[in-house]
Amino acid sequence: MRRWRVGTLSLGVLLISLGVVLLVAQFKRQFILQTLLTWWPVVLVLLGGEILFSVFTAREPEPKIKYDLFSIFFVAVMLFCSIGMYALTATGMLDKICRAVDSSTMAVDVPPLRTTADERIKNIVVSAPAGRLEIKRSSTLEVTTFGQAVVNATDRQEAEALLAQHRVVMRREGDTLFIKYPATVYPGDFKPYIREISHTLLLPAHIAVEINDSGNYFDLDIDGQAIGENWLIKGSGRINIMVAGLPDLDMNAYVGDVQQLCGSANWQPAEIKNETGNTV
């Protein structure tokens, strides 16, 4: 008489079910990880049902459950995996893992933001972002900013929602227009984040401009035609001013090392003494 070995039926049912589900997912191009993780308790139901079936169908007064080495090993693996899956589900790690697996990198346009710089606006103060900022001349009186970002998210809707939380702010106070670019901070693993972002700013040429770094290392590309009178750039970073022909620009740069000055400009280094008499 052939004796029933617990684990054989469960193994067969699990393999057949998993194979069918994966095959259907391949043909329908569906992501089924979340579905499989949701239905993992079926493993315990199958094992318990098979044990009860072997006991009630045994033709012995005191039936004994027989296992082979493979069944014991397989049952232990399934049991520990089931407990581990429950722990991951209870702590919320499964959702984070599924998000990380389902995330992808995509390019998303930053929505444009504009305002009119009429004759009452005398100054524009720009808090530059940590990333790249390109400044060009506006052909009108409008101040416009737009850009493009590379975002890691599960879909485009989530990426656009993330960019909406890091939007540029324009605020007018008296005769000054303040433009503040957001600082993108890496939130950690398993969360959507902005990998890189570049902005373009269009400015009228007749207004004084002040650009500061807000504590971040900036990367500025400035069109020489956009520069008017009384421009001031404060902070640390790379500044590239592109001009055509023979521009009529008078630039003063304060650096810690003259080697930091480069390009085709005819720089005239000069030492400056501070209040303590030291050369800077």
Domain boundaries, the chain: 8-101, 103-260
> Rg for the chain (alpha carbons), in Å?
33
| pLDDT at site 280 | 45
Confidence of residue 260 (pLDDT cuts 50, 70, 90): confident
Which pLDDT belongs to residue 177? Answer: 95
Q: What is the pTM of this model?
A: 0.67
Whole-number pLDDT of residue 50: 74
Residue 244 predicted with pLDDT over 80: no
pLDDT band at 60 (very low <50, low <70, confident <90, very high): low
Q: What percent of the chain has pLDDT over 90?
A: 18
Q: What is the pLDDT of residues 167-213, one digit of tens each?
A: 899 999 999 999 999 877 666 667 888 888 899 999 988 889 999 98
What was the pLDDT predicted at 1?
Answer: 46
The pLDDT confidence band at residue 85, using thresholds 50, 70 and 90, is low
86 or 246, greater pLDDT: 86
pLDDT at 180 (0 to 100): 93
Most confident by average pLDDT, 24-33, 185-194, 209-218, 257-266: 209-218
Please tell me which residue, 99 or 28, carries the higher pLDDT value. 99
